[in-house]
Amino acid sequence: MSDQNSSCCRRLDLAFANLITRLWVALRLFMAGVDKFRSGDGAAATFNAGNYQTKTDQIAKLMTDNSMLPSFLPPSAIDAYAHSIGYVLLAVGLWVGIGLLSEFALLAAGLAFLSLGFGLAALPDDLELTANIGVGILLTAFALYTNKSGYLSLDGLFGRGRAKKSASTEG
């Protein structure tokens, strides 16, 4: 009897855990993408496409000059990665935040963090790798783990209810 009651009721603790970690991952990725458009600090900060070009040029130069990546990747691939990463971070951050196709969005988030981690690990000083990227990967994995309880997302509002009803009518 208790199994039946526990299967019919939503675990709000897991739903809130999923929401908080999913929003953290989304915010972290989105703000990392926004940061690629920033120049300056505080009230003097500006955000525009020129800043994006300058910053991504610096990223491409840093990856080409200070890492082992050019030994097995052509410079055009490094440039393509550096010049697209800001847009990828923005898109994946928004995707994770709204919770549409959450499993795939969180997979994309994990892969984005892994790509950032790979780029940082290729540089001589990779202290940020464990402190920043590692935490992002762990929280993304936790959000993915709790995703079955992700009722507070677009998936949860539109898709999970129908899936739960069809599963209960089959049993």
Q: pLDDT digits over 16-60, tens only?
A: 898 999 999 999 999 999 999 988 888 888 888 988 999 889 888
pLDDT exceeds 80 at position 161: no
How confident is the prediction for the chain on average, in pLDDT? 82
Instruction: Output the CA angle 98-20-95, nearest 5 degrees.
Output: 20
Q: Can you give the pLDDT at residue 118?
A: 83
Could you tell me the pTM of the whole model? 0.79
Select from 61, 92, 101 the least CA-distant residue to 78: 61
In which band, very low, low, confident or very high, does the pLDDT at 126 lie, cut at 50, 70 and 90?
Answer: low
Cα 132–chain centre separation: 13
Domain ranges of the chain: 34-170
Residue 140's pLDDT band, with cuts at 50, 70 and 90, is very high
Mean pLDDT computed over 140-144: 91
Question: pLDDT for 65-92, tens place per residue?
Answer: 877 777 888 888 889 988 999 999 999 9
Distance CA 54, CA 50 (A): 6
> At 5, is the pLDDT very low, low, confident or very high (cuts 50, 70, 90)?
very low
- What DSSP line would sit under 111-156, residue for residue? HHHHHHHHHHHTSS--HHIIIIIHHHHHHHHHHHHTGGG--SSHII
Q: CA-CA distances (angstroms) from residue 12 to 1, 128, 145, 155?
A: 20, 34, 15, 16
- Which residue is it, tokens 């953290």? 24
Going by C-alpha positions, the residue among 116, 137, 123 that lies closest to residue 67 is 123
Q: What is the pLDDT of residue 131?
A: 76
Q: Which of the pair, 5 or 26, is modelled with greater confidence?
A: 26
